Amino acid sequence: MNEKELIESGNMKMDWARNHMPVLAIIREKFEEEKPLKGLKVGMALHVEAKTAVLVETLAAGGAEVSITGCNPLSTQDDVALALNIRKNISCFARYGVGSQEYYEAIDRVLDSRPDITIDDGADLIFKLHKERTDLLPNILGGCEETTTGVHRLHAMEKEGALKMPVIAVNDAMTKYLFDNRYGTGQSAWDGINRTTNLLVAGKNVVVAGYGWCGRGVAMRAAGLGASVIVTEVDPIRALEARMDGYRVMKMSDAAKIGEIFVTTTGNRDILTAEHFKSMPDGAILANSGHFNVEIDMEALNSLAKTVRTVRNNIKEYDIGGKRINVIAEGRLVNLAAGDGHPAEVMDMSFANQALCVRYIAENKLPNGVHRVPQELDNYVARMKLESMGISIDELTEAQRSYMSGWECGT
Ligand SMILES: NC(=O)c1ccc[n+]([C@@H]2O[C@H](COP(=O)([O-])OP(=O)(O)OC[C@H]3O[C@@H](n4cnc5c(N)ncnc54)[C@H](O)[C@@H]3O)[C@@H](O)[C@H]2O)c1
Ligand SMILES: O=c1[nH]cnc2c1ncn2[C@@H]1O[C@H](CO)[C@@H](O)[C@H]1O
Ligand SMILES: N[C@@H](CCS)C(=O)O
């Protein structure tokens, strides 16, 4: 495709996404009217694809000047990046498949815009701000963090007294993690795996590592596709939940021997290691839908491999001596690096939270540290989403409200 065709394709993807993001549309309308971000610069490092682009244009509609790059070298969609770049007050520095140097140079270019507010997915901008670009910190009003791992890292920085700006943990809004991490990852991880492998899930042993919000989504949808699901955990309560939800629970060293498809969702490292690769059945398929590319120990797999070859677009086969292990999308987030990411209706809620939190930062002076998404914003997103789905719910009567808050009657 030439540049013009790429831009057309990016615009088409954005139109489709925009039409399925009704809560963000309500916020965009308000932003257009009220311009709450007028005069502010927003710097972003998110997965650059169509739903993110709709968030970017929403912020620009609010009066912000937006600079954006990717937060994963394999999740950028170049047509969308180009379509964003031609829009007024938006600069996009993301490109698909960049190496580490170009990836971090693009982060620097976003910071060169001297943002007032940052939006991260995995805290890349915030790390650079604290490690190399500390001169920019006094200018920062605050930041927003999209994902679980980013929030964990920010809490660790805060605990050590290293966090020098306020950040809102957008991931921890209930209208984010209960839907995006669970139903979003549950659907889009399988979308990525299925469109890439073109194999059957029914009847296979699927091993899901981690039974957090992502893991329970991935396990639930695997079961729906007819898999026999095995869960591995380190948390006894979550392991118990997985068992009582109907899955087999065992150690990874045992699961590795019988798993046919493995999906990691832990946010941790070294979940699948050399020991596991050696005991896996021939032809095992590995995918990561959790954190970066360290959940599957790719270094160990590379050193075990006698040969490595691409066997299908986005699938590498590692022959470790008479046994073949297949890895999708280099062990990076399978839903984004081998698919189009979460469904638009789910990102509608995540990004509605982002837009509202950017406005909140612009209008409130927050102290340094990690902040929760204000409950009223979380409730607003839920109410708007229900409304957009044509769902009405009951309201407490006065008598019910006082019954629920009193202690004298009914016991
Ligand atoms: N692919 C996506 O689009 C997407 C979406 C949301 C979140 N994420 C990322 O996915 C990861 C998980 O997010 P979450 O919200 O589910 O987190 P979570 O904290 O709810 O769940 C993680 C689970 O993994 C378990 N775990 C940790 N180490 C383990 C190990 N060695 N073996 C087995 N289990 C282990 C934990 O006990 C926990 O139950 C994070 O890195 C997050 O940033 C990805
Ligand atoms: O399609 C998408 N566009 C933008 N962000 C996404 C999409 N799918 C998932 N995530 C976001 O990626 C984070 C993990 O890196 C998740 O927290 C999720 O919110
Ligand atoms: N942005 C990072 C964080 C995922 S948890 C990534 O895409 O790998």
Q: Pseudo-torsion of CA 232, 234, 237, 240, nearest 10°?
A: 30
Beta bridge partners of 230: 207, 248
Residues 203 and 251 in one domain: yes
Residues above pLDDT 90, as percent of the chain: 98
Residue with tokens 């790059």: 69
CATH code: domain of residue 246: 3.40.50.720
Query: Which of 48, 52, 121, 188 is the best mutation target for the ligand 2 pocket, counting ligand atoms within 8 Å of the beta carbon and taking the most?
Result: 121
Asked if residue 353 is part of any domain, the answer here is yes
The answer to whether residue 406 is domain-embedded is no
Of all protein residues, the one whose alpha carbon is nearest to atom 4 of ligand 3 is 291
Got the DSSP string for 139-151? G--EEEE-SHHHH
Which ligand has the minimum distance to the alpha carbon of residue 146? Answer: 2
Ligand 1 atom nearest the C-alpha of 333 is 1
Given ligand 3 and candidates 121, 181, 188, which is best to mutate, with the most ligand atoms within 8 Å of its CB?
Answer: 121
Give the number of other Cβ atoms within 10 Å of residue 339's Cβ: 25
Same domain, 248 and 143: no
Domain check: are 32 and 152 in the same one? yes
Query: Is there a single domain that holds both residue 332 and residue 355?
Result: no
Q: How many CB atoms lie within 10 A of CB 364?
A: 12
**pLDDT of amino acid 411:** 59
Does residue 408 fall inside a structural domain?
Answer: no
C-beta neighbour count of 235 within 10 angstroms: 12
Ligand 1 contacts CB of residue 243 (under 6 A): no
Q: Kindly identify the ligand whose nearest atom is closest to the C-alpha of 339.
A: 2
CATH number of the domain bearing residue 140: 3.40.50.1480
pLDDT range class, residue 291, cuts 50, 70, 90: confident
- Co-location of 23 and 170 in the same domain: yes
291 is in an annotated binding site: yes
Distance in angstroms (rounded) separating the CA atoms of residues 298 and 282: 17
Classify residue 70 by its DSSP letter.
-
* Phi, psi (rounded to 5 degrees) for 261: -130, 130
Contact call for residues 163 and 157 (beta carbons, < 8 A): yes
Residue 217 has pLDDT above 80, yes or no: yes
Sequence-distant (6+) residues with CB within 8 A of 376 are none
Residue 94 lies inside a defined structural domain of this protein: yes
Cβ–Cβ < 8 Å for 148, 333? no
210 shares its domain with 310: yes
Rounded CA gap, 45 and 93, in Å?
10
Whether 146 has a binding-site annotation, put simply, is yes
Question: For the chain, how many structural domains are there in total?
Answer: 2
Is 180 labeled as ligand-binding?
yes
Torsions phi, psi of 118, nearest 5? -115, 150
Burial of 238 (0-12, 13-18, 19+ CB in 10 A): middle
- Is the CB of 175 inside a 6 Å radius of any atom of ligand 1? no
Concatenate the DSSP letters of all residues of 162-180 into one string.
---SEEEEGGGSHHHIIII
Average pLDDT over residues 203-213: 98
Query: Same structural domain for residues 294 and 326?
Result: yes
Nearest to 104 by CA among 127, 81, 83: 127
Assigned domain for 310 exists: yes
Query: Which parts of 162-306 are beta strand (E)?
Result: 166-169, 205-209, 228-232, 248-249, 261-264, 284-288
Q: Is 53 in the pocket of ligand 2 (CB under 6 A)?
A: no
pLDDT of residue 236: 98
The answer, yes or no, to whether any atom of ligand 1 lies below 6 A from the CB of 268, is: yes
- How does pLDDT run across 233-272, given as a tens digit for each residue? 999 999 999 999 999 999 999 999 999 999 999 999 999 9
User: Which residues fall within 8 angstroms of residue 149, CB to CB, at 6 or more apart?
Assistant: 122, 267, 290, 291, 292
Residue 275 in this model has a pLDDT that exceeds 70 = yes
Tell me, yes or no, whether 160 and 253 share the same domain: no
Residues 202 and 54 in one domain: no
ipTM of the complex: 0.98
pTM summary value: 0.97
300 within domain boundaries: yes
Ligand 3 atom closest to the CA of 332, numbered from 1:
8
Residue-wise pLDDT tens digits, 119-173 = 999 999 999 999 999 999 999 999 999 999 999 999 999 999 999 999 999 999 9
| Residue 152 marked ligand-binding | no
Res. 408 pLDDT band, cuts 50 70 90: confident
When the pLDDT of each residue in the chain is averaged and rounded to a whole number, the result is 97
Indicate if 85 and 130 belong to the same structural domain: yes
Q: Is 397 a member of any domain?
A: no
Task: Give the number of the atom of ligand 3 that is nearest the alpha carbon of residue 148.
Answer: 5
| Phi-psi domain of 315 (left: phi exceeds 0; alpha: psi -120 through 50; beta: other) | beta
Picking from 314, 328, 320, 288, the residue whose alpha carbon sits closest to that of residue 302 is 320
Residue identifier of the C-alpha nearest atom 2 of ligand 3: 122
Residue 247 shares a structural domain with residue 274: yes
Instruction: Kindly state whether residues 217 and 246 are assigned to the same domain.
Output: yes
* Residues 293 and 198 sit within 8 Å (Cβ to Cβ): no
348 lines ligand 2 (CB under 6 A): no
Q: Which residue has the tokens 């209930």?
A: 174
* Residue 407 pLDDT greater than 90, yes or no: no
Range of the structural domain that residue 376 is part of: 1-174+341-387
Q: Which amino acid is at 101?
A: Q
Q: Judge whether 394 lies within some domain.
A: no
Averaged pLDDT, 360-387: 98
**Bridge partners of residue 91, in order along the sequence:** 67
DSSP-derived letter for residue 246 is: T
Q: Which of 147, 176, 276, 349 to mutate to test the pocket of ligand 1 (most atoms within 8 A of CB)?
A: 147
At residue 410, the pLDDT reads: 62
- Cα separation, 200 vs 339, in Å, equals 17
Whether residue 409 has pLDDT greater than 80: no
Condensed to tens digits (0 to 9), the pLDDT of residues 21-60 reads: 999 999 999 999 999 999 999 999 999 999 999 999 999 9
